[in-house]
Amino acid sequence: MARLVWFRNDLRLADNPALHAAVESGEDLLLLYILDERAGAANRWWLHHSLEALSKDIAGRGGHLLLRRGEPVEIISALVKAHGVNAVHAARAYEPFWREADRALDVALKALDCGLHRYLSTSLFAPERITTKAGGLFGVFTPFSKACMEAGVPEDALPAPRTLKSIKAKSDALKDWALLPTKPDWAGGMRAAWQPGEAGARARLKAFLAGPVKHYATARDVPGVEGTSRLSPHAHFGEISPRFVWHQAKADGDGKGVETFLKELLWREFSINLLWQHPDIRQKPIRGEFEDFPWNERQGHLAAWQNGRTGIPIVDAGMRELWQTGWMHNRVRMICASYLVKHLLVPWQKGEQWFWDCLCEADEAANGASWQWVAGCGADAAPYFRVFNPVLQGRKFDAEGAYVRRFVPELAKLPEAYLHVPWEAPEEILAKAGMKLGRDYPRPLVLPADGRQAALEAYANLKR
């Protein structure tokens, strides 16, 4: 008899409950990963390297990672029949695609007299566990986070297995999945910025807790410094256990930085909770009245935003960081999203889709929930007329311009007074900086004040 471990967004060996349970059985193992065809381009780049790292880690313990492409039910059912598998072990998944696959697999395995065992592995809490006093699910973050704190995170931590006694079945070759870009090879910035895999995740957490976490409460909003954990891609792929992150952070102390970081981990949980309640969160607004929102997208505006050519420096810096590194600073994500939705009046779903293709993590729960939060149509107590002023945001959080100068180098020689408003700079200042507006850097698609007014009018029309 044998056990099958189905890896999904839990690409690690340490603190992996599904793997641990299968190893504890003492039976031979089939260690399987099935390609998720829905992944965006940057996500696929990360996945290639994460699977490569996982495969090496497994091989180092005497095992073999089996790669397959196709329908999960068909693939797993065939392996169960061929290798006498009596149980399938997997992490719980909350995306609609995987929930549907799990339901179908459960039915198929019962017909084969094989059990499906799923484990809490990719989140701190099961979505159905954190409920209101009336037994319902939360729609507002603050009471949700308080309920999580009251529930407490178990301190269990499972070690990585020392050896893996796995069956070497026929497998796809990772290179044949063609997950990496070729012509053009746009992944140079990502290669320089990241180390996918379990070892990279642990190194990233260690470096964060060694210093930046102490100033996290304020530094996390400053994109020009290393003030955030940058753990989101590692967390999405499950290269590190969320409860390991939680308890390692708590062990670091009770300072304001740690407290704020734990709160951000609970925002991730809240997004999972919202996806559980709203499976169509990437397409359909949680607040139904926004289905009739009067968008007014103009030709070329979406493309300019995607390419970091809006004429608003902090927005363009963020969009270029996204393209170069597959990641964007969280404060800047809010600014960029707000400018697209509120100032350019482009439907939030188009921005969400671009992030889905360009973000290394491309997380269904966090991406959908965050875009709806910015658009004002999600789980948020603030109304639509909260409009980020990108100039004020830039001056506040990138006061010295380190972030803009890095990602928008054509503005690098402008003095601070005009860095976030180059359209206000006199011609002699622009000339001294070696640039001409409209040639070297675009004029704004929409000025902040004009965009805010248009957003408020659109909201007023919706109310009417």
Apex 128 CA angle, 20 and 363, nearest 5: 70
| Radius of gyration from C-alpha coordinates of the chain | 24
Residues 6+ apart with CB under 8 A from 387: 338, 342, 343, 451, 452, 455, 456
- Given a contact cutoff of 8 angstroms between Cβ atoms, the answer to whether 282 and 368 are in contact is yes
Does residue 6 carry a catalytic annotation?
A: no
Residues 6+ apart with CB under 8 A from 331: 220, 221, 222, 223, 393, 397
Copy the structure tokens of residue 250: 């708590």
Does residue 330 carry a catalytic annotation?
A: yes
In the set 348, 354, 356, 373, the catalytic residue is: 348
Does residue 327 carry a catalytic annotation?
A: no
Apex 73 CA angle, 70 and 77, nearest 5: 110
Copy the structure tokens of residue 81: 């029949």
Does residue 186 carry a catalytic annotation?
A: no
In the set 27, 74, 264, 410, the catalytic residue is: 264
In the set 37, 71, 100, 295, the catalytic residue is: 295
In the set 46, 194, 305, 371, the catalytic residue is: 371
Residue 137 DSSP symbol: B
The sheet that has 115-119: what strands, in order across it? 65-68, 28-34, 2-7, 85-91, 115-119
- The H or E element containing residue 90 is strand 85-91
Does residue 348 carry a catalytic annotation?
A: yes
In the set 177, 186, 267, 423, the catalytic residue is: 267
Nearest to 258 by CA among 216, 202, 300, 289: 216
Q: Within 13 Å and on the Cβ side, how many CA atoms surround 274?
A: 32
Does residue 373 carry a catalytic annotation?
A: no
Which of the residues are catalytic? 264, 267, 295, 330, 348, 371
